[in-house]
Amino acid sequence: MDFLLNISPICTAFLTVVIPLLAFLYQAIVGKKDQSGLVGTLAIIFSFVLSLLTFLDVWNAMPLSSEITWFKIGNTTFTVGILLNNLSSLMLLLVSTIAVPVHIYSKSYMHGDAGIHRYWMYLSLFCFAMLGLVIMNNLLLMYVFWELVGFASYLLIGFWYTKDAAVQANKKAFLVNRIGDLGFLIGIAIVYSQFGTLNLVTLFGNDGLIANTSVENGLWISPHNSMDAIWLTVTGISFFLGAMAKSAQFPLHVWLPDAMEGPTSVSSLIHAATMVAAGVFLMSTLFPLFNDTVLLIIAIIGTTTATIAAYFALAQYDIKKILAFSTISQLGYMMVGIGIGTWDAAMFHLLTHAFFKCLLFLCAGAVIHEMAHLKAHSKQDFDPQDLRNMGGLRHYMPQTFILMTIASLALAGFPLTSGYLSKDSIIISAFEWASAKGPMFQIVPITLIIVSIMTAFYIGRLLFKAFFSELRIKSLLGSSVDLNESPKLMLWPMYFLGICCVFPLFSFNPISYHDAWVMDGLLVQYPYETNHTAHLVIPMILTVGALSVWVLAWRWYAQGQYPLHANSLANRISLNQGYLNIFNEKIIVNSVLNLSKLSYWIDRHIVDGFIHIFINFIQQIALLSHWLDKNIVDGLVNTFGKIALLLGNFARSTQNGKLQTYLYSVFLLVIVGLVYLLLR
């Protein structure tokens, strides 16, 4: 193993990224002939090993950076390069670690699908793009991979392309992400304009350009250039717009619930664990660029997202939609973490969330897989994703049930789980931040506590509705219920993720997040004091709150003592996602379409009409001049012409084709000539 450790981390990181690309190319070339996905899976396992080596080398060591010239425009050189520091190597490891179980799980989950070769191809492409995104050392390349992950996600959401909902969803996902991408692009333009470089090391390194930038007299001054101070805020908002779209922040979250149309394994990897977290990663990378205004906006948007998404999750019936809203809500937490300046906490939560949310999705996938199986066997028509059709599943799928419970506990933030550590770190920091800022800011931590309790409630609801009481569609099926535990190939990855949901992997002290190695490694200096009471009280509130809502959920859903009206207004708003989709469809999309129709009408009738009027006008002039020409100018000419015609006709009469007449006229002419000569 020695020689492996001697390879430079840059090299291993490079290989980590490139190997999935090779797998992608292989699958693209081979096409249908290889449906096993073995190459893709092996590639990601290799990537995982290499990323682990990279991580061990880089973590808590000097950041490394290496680059080569890409191209030159004007006097600026653009480079391709890799930046390895704690943040990027951590993300690299995370992505490949999550990707491995998902690949293995997919082998079983997607088995027998007609387009499976495309599945492996897209999955490898996604891994390539996502791994590339985290280690790129300049913003332009980050943008490249940023869009590529969006593209891979587009392909995977629309994997079942004959399904209308799926192709609607992938279009929506790409377009909403494009809105964010514009923000990113404008951010890049501003940074380039202000600093003359897009290199992360030059920008954010110690004594880099950002560190030497100041705002004075309403001017944002960097060593390279200066512009109005307002542009500093605009930069932050632009980049945040990018992160909002990718990390599904309100109001750009609308694509994520729809994105659940893709295969569940894809949802777990892309739309729960890795890609959607890219926005948080971006915010962490660019953190020094944000001023207080932007940070406050981020915190507000994050809180709003967390609240609204948790609320929407409460009444969903589709098991994947609940998890999708839960993801959005948790991403909101992470954004709050950025907004209050503790991006290490945000990253920590990103890390823990990736594992337990991935596990939740895989468990949900297992359930859906079996339910779909049941549907196919029984030849009955029911929605295999609908919670109302489930119930009592713990009898049929005990291992899945246990794993799901572990993940749910982590999500709800019960002690001894990873979620407890990371969620507390954000909420406690938010409380400390609010204390330093002023009483109005207390809204943020209080909201977060309420949301955390809501989170516990909806995940409890899911768990109890799906796994407890009796199977609700039993009457439909008759006597035989053909429900089994998932195959081993699906269970092993789930077990692996289950282990990653508990505390020892992150911190040996199960109750204090300060001891977590992630937090130590990222080492952010907080601008406010530590509040020891909060450290004691908040976890207690959270635990007690979560426990009590689980008891409530148990009574409501497992024992069937549901006290509320299912059709109440609050429930309906939650179920319909606040009617946001309808609003978007009716107001935004329709107005854009109408605008486009209007502009086409203008093009046809006004622009082209103007041209036609112009041409008409010219035609009229032409007609007039034609009349003049015919009657006046031509009249004169015609008179001459007619005279000439008369003369011509006269002369023509001599031309009768009789040779003798011609000779006769020659003879006459000679006579005339002779007479002339005689008489002269």
Partner 1 sequence: MITLTHFLVVSAFIFCIGLYAVLAKKNAIMILVGIELMINAAILNFVAFGKYDKINYGGQIFALFAIVLAAAAVAVGLAIILNVYRYYKTVNPDQIRELKD
Partner 2 sequence: MPTLSLLIFLPLLATAIILALPSRFKDVYKYIALAITAVQLVLAGMAYFSFNPTSTGINTLAGYQLVEQLPWIRLDLGTIGKLEIDYLLGVDGISMPLLVLSTFVMLMAIGASWNMKKSLKGYFALLMLLNMAVIGIFCALDFFLFYLFYEVMLLPLYFLIGIWGGERREYAAMKFFIYTLFGSVFMLLVIVGLYFSVINPLTGAHTFSMIHMMNPDNYVAGSIFALDGYQEIFGISARLIGFIVLFFAFAIKVPIVPLHTWLPDAHVEAPTPVSIILAGILLKIGGYGIIRVCFSIFPDAAAQSNWWLGLIGVISILYGAFNALAQKDLKRLIAYSSVSHMGFVLLGLASFTAEGISGAMFQMISHGFLSAALFFLVGVIYDRVHDRYIPHFRGLATIMPKYTAYVAIAFFASLGLPGFSAFIAEAFVIIGTFNSASLGTGLPRWMAIAGSVGILMSAAYLLWTLQRMFFGQTRLKGGDSWNTALVDLTGREQLILFPTLALALILGICPFIVFDQMNASVINLVAFIQQYN
Positions that interact with partner 2 (CB under 8 A): 70-76, 140, 143-145, 147-148, 151, 158, 161-164, 167-168, 171, 174-175, 178-179, 181-182, 185-186, 188-190, 192-194, 225, 227, 592-593, 595-597, 599-600, 603, 607-608, 610-611, 615
Report in angstroms how near the CB of residue 675 gets to partner 1 at its nearest: 17
Task: Decide if 337 contacts 80 (C-beta within 8 A).
Answer: no
Query: Rounded to whole angstroms, what are the CA distances from 286 to 232, 445, 627, 660?
Result: 13, 24, 75, 110
70 binds, among partner 1, partner 2, none (CB under 5 to 8 A by kind): partner 2
208 binds, among partner 2, partner 1, none (CB under 5 to 8 A by kind): none
Q: Which is nearer to partner 1, 566 or 659 (CB)?
A: 659
Report in angstroms how near the CB of residue 613 gets to partner 1 at its nearest: 50
Give the residue, chosen from 470, 667, 669, 674, that forms a contact with partner 1 under the rule CB under 8 A. Answer: 667
658 binds, among partner 2, partner 1, none (CB under 5 to 8 A by kind): partner 1
CA-nearest of 268, 318, 326, 297 to 126 is 268
Peptide bond into 251 cis (omega under 30): yes
* Rounded-to-integer distance, Cα 680 and Cα 678, Å: 6
Helix (H, G, I), strand (E, B) or coil at 10: helix
Q: Which phi and psi angles does 215 have, rounded to 5°? A: -115, 115
* Rounded-to-integer distance, Cα 495 and Cα 516, Å: 23
Task: Decide if 172 contacts 255 (C-beta within 8 A).
Answer: yes
In eight-state DSSP terms, residue 76 is E
Report in angstroms how near the CB of residue 659 gets to partner 1 at its nearest: 5
Q: Which is nearer to partner 1, 593 or 672 (CB)?
A: 672
Where residue 527 falls (left for φ over 0; alpha for ψ -120 to 50; beta otherwise) is: alpha
Number of residues near partner 1 (by CB under 8 A):
11
Check residue 175 for interaction with partner 1 (CB under 8 A): no
CA-nearest of 54, 52, 26, 56 to 41 is 26
Dihedral of alpha carbons 21, 26, 31, 35, sign: negative
Q: Which is nearer to partner 1, 504 or 648 (CB)?
A: 648
Q: Which is nearer to partner 2, 285 or 329 (CB)?
A: 285
482 binds, among partner 2, partner 1, none (CB under 5 to 8 A by kind): none
Report in angstroms how near the CB of residue 137 gets to partner 2 at its nearest: 16
Q: Which is nearer to partner 2, 129 or 502 (CB)?
A: 129
> What is the full DSSP assignment across 369-393?
HHHHHHHHHHT----TTBGGG---H
71 binds, among partner 1, partner 2, none (CB under 5 to 8 A by kind): partner 2
Q: Which phi and psi angles does 656 have, rounded to 5°? A: -100, 5
Angle separating helix axes 9-30 and 38-58, nearest 10 degrees: 170
Query: What count of residues does the chain have?
Result: 680
Q: Which is nearer to partner 2, 161 or 562 (CB)?
A: 161
Q: Which is nearer to partner 2, 174 or 556 (CB)?
A: 174
Report in angstroms how near the CB of residue 168 gets to partner 2 at its nearest: 7
* Rounded-to-integer distance, Cα 161 and Cα 517, Å: 43
Report in angstroms how near the CB of residue 95 gets to partner 2 at its nearest: 19
Report in angstroms how near the CB of residue 652 gets to partner 1 at its nearest: 6
Write down the H helix ranges in 554-679.
569-575, 580-583, 590-601, 608-628, 634-654, 659-679
In eight-state DSSP terms, residue 191 is H
The tokens of 266 are what? 């894809």
Radius of gyration of the chain (CA): 37
Write down the H helix ranges in 196-286.
200-204, 230-246, 255-258, 264-268, 278-285
179 binds, among partner 1, partner 2, none (CB under 5 to 8 A by kind): partner 2
Give the residue, chosen from 664, 672, 673, 674, that forms a contact with partner 1 under the rule CB under 8 A. Answer: 664
Q: Which is nearer to partner 2, 164 or 381 (CB)?
A: 164
Report in angstroms how near the CB of residue 661 gets to partner 1 at its nearest: 9
Pattern of binders to partner 1 over 624-663, x per CB under 8 A?
----------------------------x--xxxxxx-xx
Chain center to CA of 275: 7
Report in angstroms how near the CB of residue 189 gets to partner 2 at its nearest: 4
Q: Which is nearer to partner 2, 610 or 662 (CB)?
A: 610
Helices (H) and strands (E) in the chain, counts: 29, 5
Report in angstroms how near the CB of residue 671 gets to partner 1 at its nearest: 11
In 123-272, DSSP assigns E strands to: 214-216, 219-221, 226-228
Element (H, E) at 160: none
The tokens of 220 are what? 């944002």
Report in angstroms how near the CB of residue 655 gets to partner 1 at its nearest: 5
524 binds, among partner 1, partner 2, none (CB under 5 to 8 A by kind): none
140 binds, among partner 1, partner 2, none (CB under 5 to 8 A by kind): partner 2
Q: Which is nearer to partner 2, 26 or 496 (CB)?
A: 26
β-pair partners for 82: 66, 136
* Rounded-to-integer distance, Cα 455 and Cα 313, Å: 8
> What is the maximum span of the chain, computed from C-alpha positions, in angstroms?
150
437 binds, among partner 2, partner 1, none (CB under 5 to 8 A by kind): none
Q: Which is nearer to partner 1, 70 or 664 (CB)?
A: 664
Write down the H helix ranges in 480-531.
488-499, 517-522
664 binds, among partner 2, partner 1, none (CB under 5 to 8 A by kind): partner 1
Q: Which is nearer to partner 2, 82 or 364 (CB)?
A: 82
Report in angstroms how near the CB of residue 657 gets to partner 1 at its nearest: 3
Q: Which is nearer to partner 2, 241 or 501 (CB)?
A: 241
617 binds, among partner 1, partner 2, none (CB under 5 to 8 A by kind): none
The tokens of 344 are what? 């290490």
Write down the H helix ranges in 286-437.
292-314, 319-339, 343-378, 393-396, 398-412, 418-437
652 binds, among partner 2, partner 1, none (CB under 5 to 8 A by kind): partner 1
Report in angstroms how near the CB of residue 607 gets to partner 1 at its nearest: 56
Element (H, E) at 71: strand 64-73
Q: Which is nearer to partner 2, 255 or 333 (CB)?
A: 255
Q: Which residues bind partner 1 (CB under 8 A)?
A: 652, 655-660, 662-664, 667
